[in-house]
Structure 1
Amino acid sequence: MNDIKSFIAYVADGNSLTAEQSEKAFDLLMTGEATSAQVAGFLMSLRVKGETVDEITGAARSMRSKMLTIKAPEGAIDVCGTGGDAKGTLNVSTATAFVVAGAGAIVAKHGNRAASSKSGASDVLGALGIGLEANVDAVEKALAENGTAFLAAPLYHSAMRHVGPTRAELGTRTIFNLLGPLSNPGKVTRQITGVFGREWVEPLAQVLKAIGHEKAWVVHGAEGLDELSISGLSYISELDQGQIRNFEIIPEMAGLERSPIEEIIGGDAAFNAKAMREMLGGKKNAYRDAVVLNSAGALIVAGLTDDLKEGAVIAAKSIDSGAALAKLDGLASYTNEETTQ
């Protein structure tokens, strides 16, 4: 198969692609060699058939090969979610990035503007004064000296311009909803990633293994959250040194009380930014507990602890000492020194 028409016909007939075939097909999509109708036809053929681990792996390799990269220190981690859970919660993974950085991890946070919620990572960080168009030098400096940086997806994935308009017109989930968390410009090999559906937990761990990750947690929380849930059960697939194991946790395992999801529902970027600054400033509420829980998992992925309850203690100290808030303010300073030309 050498053209997109043959790939569309093959997948539409119910056949699955190898990783190599998928990479070739996505190379065609992301270099502008497919029309909008062909992009839509191929993406929806995959969706209806059901995307496989090999197909996601090939697509991720294609996307990663075309992204602008930065130099991230060894051991850097990403804390992100697929989005798409449509719950409208406060920005948990974004706040988690600062808490984990305050505890000593190096965090290259990859993210974008909201697609299905009112406030994505870029939205809330912009409201908090983070420069979203900081150039590569400024981002690398922030990562090296402040221990945290934000990688705004549009600046690093210019090839997405060939498929972005079609995705918007489709208005429904495609494989690209899964690819963002697999395509960190810092090429981190450690990450905790939330997914919008439980059925994607283990498959994405398998993809992360295939693209060379060292350690990862892929998580899905009760009530459909793309993060660890403070309201109940969470499902985790852990990748560690090439091995994958599946397990479940509840907040009590981290020494935390449960809270209903209604207590962490957010609003627009300004609302969520205010809530994040208050929480990082020491305000104790369900939002703090949700961030502490997710930070505990992230600290395990970062190798700073191997115990969830200890991770929660470390995360709480990062907040209460002011270290987490200092990382936020430091990132604002670094990213407003220079911006892209």
Structure 2
Amino acid sequence: MDFNTEKNRVLGEMITHLIAKTDLTRDESFSAFQMILNNEVSEMQQGAFLAALTAKGENAAEVAGGWQAVYDLDTEKVTLDDLEVVDNCGTGMDSFKTFNISTAAALVGAAGGVHIARHGARAITSARGTVDMAESLGVDMECDVKTVAGSIRKCGIGLFNGMSPRVHPMALGRILSQICFGSPLNIAASLANPAMPKIAVRGVYSPFSSDRLPRSWTRSVTGMPLLFMGLSRSTTRGWTKLLSAEQPKESTFPMVLLRN
């Protein structure tokens, strides 16, 4: 592939900063993800940036910059402002090879009358991603965003395929299909839902992410998310950590308390 030598150098400097555990600003993060999405730098540099950012540990500004790049540059958008829509996708990356629990939860929520606008991907680190699971049930996962929006209106549930060029036409699928480790791109991209729901229940894979994602959310999208950290989502196998971006003080509780 052809790449821009000057931009390759600029991204290399950012990678050097990340290796030295130096944080990027939101603008720097946006610029880096913009170069990656536009495929203006070499693929080795793209992978090195994601690995270095993951190793350092992402902060709220870096995730927000990544989200802005994905949403502004690489997301086909739909409007469902007349509906109270909920997104319940997780970040994945729990490493336990679980089935896609949030998909089952979405079906339960939709059956209860909640309009669900999911935004997910194929398996990267899990046994099956939400797109794989829906496709095995006969759902067309290569449709455009307007078709998904119509499903949300008519059936109460729809799933935007985060790896489809009909949802993210530039590069997201290309990047996610080539890496087999979780990175801050998973978090940033998960926020780039084409319907931009103002309510979200989001599972995260680590306490580190659960501490930073509420701040990332308030820097990127509007609305009120609830975040669960148990097994990448709430779990009956132990304790689950719950945070709200509106009230970021955390609560930790055994899930049995939620079953009453």
Q: Same fold per TM (> 0.5)?
A: yes
Specify the SS of the correspondent of 2:88: strand
Q: Over aligned residue pairs, what C-alpha RMSD do you find?
A: 2.0
TM-score normalised over the length of structure 2: 0.87
Tell me what 2:24 maps to: 17
Specify the SS of the correspondent of 2:249: strand
- Deviates further, 190-199 or 65-74: 65-74
1:164/1:127 Cα in 2 relative to 1: closer, same or farther (>3 Å)?
closer
Cα deviation for residue 230 of structure 1 reads 1.0
1:168-193 Cα offsets, whole Å, 9 max, x none, are: 2xx33322232232121111121111
The yes-or-no answer on 1:40 pairing with 2:47 is yes
Question: Distance between the aligned counterparts of 1:115 and 1:204, measured in 2?
Answer: 20
The yes-or-no answer on 1:247 pairing with 2:251 is yes
Question: Distance between the aligned counterparts of 1:184 and 1:206, measured in 2?
Answer: 18
State which structure, 1 or 2, has the greater radius of gyration over its C-alpha atoms: 1
Cα deviation for residue 8 of structure 1 reads 2.5
One-letter amino acid of the counterpart of residue 127, structure 1: S
The yes-or-no answer on 1:163 pairing with 2:172 is no
1:15-41 Cα offsets, whole Å, 9 max, x none, are: 211111111111111111110121122
CA contact (8 A) 1:70 1:185 kept: yes
CA contact (8 A) 2:197 2:223 kept: no
One-letter amino acid of the counterpart of residue 91, structure 1: N
The yes-or-no answer on 1:30 pairing with 2:37 is yes
The yes-or-no answer on 1:107 pairing with 2:116 is yes
1:231-254 Cα offsets, whole Å, 9 max, x none, are: 2210011123xx422112222322
Question: Distance between the aligned counterparts of 1:106 and 1:164, measured in 2?
Answer: 27
Unaligned runs of at least 5 residues, structure 2? 1-5
More helix by share: 1
CA contact (8 A) 1:181 1:193 kept: no
The yes-or-no answer on 1:233 pairing with 2:245 is no
Cα deviation for residue 162 of structure 1 reads 5.6
Tell me what 1:297 maps to: none
One-letter amino acid of the counterpart of residue 148, structure 1: I
Cα deviation for residue 161 of structure 1 reads 5.0
Question: Distance between the aligned counterparts of 1:12 and 1:91, measured in 2?
Answer: 33
TM-score normalised over the length of structure 1: 0.68
Tell me what 1:62 maps to: 69
Cα deviation for residue 48 of structure 1 reads 2.6
Unaligned runs of at least 5 residues, structure 1? 256-308, 310-341
Identity %: 23
Tell me what 1:148 maps to: 157
1:92/1:161 Cα in 2 relative to 1: closer, same or farther (>3 Å)?
closer
Specify the SS of the correspondent of 1:80: coil
Total equivalences in the alignment: 248
Cα deviation for residue 215 of structure 1 reads 0.9
One-letter amino acid of the counterpart of residue 250, structure 1: P
Specify the SS of the correspondent of 2:97: coil
CA contact (8 A) 1:18 1:55 kept: yes
Alignment of 1:266-281 (within 5 A): none
The yes-or-no answer on 1:72 pairing with 2:80 is yes
CA contact (8 A) 1:30 1:162 kept: no
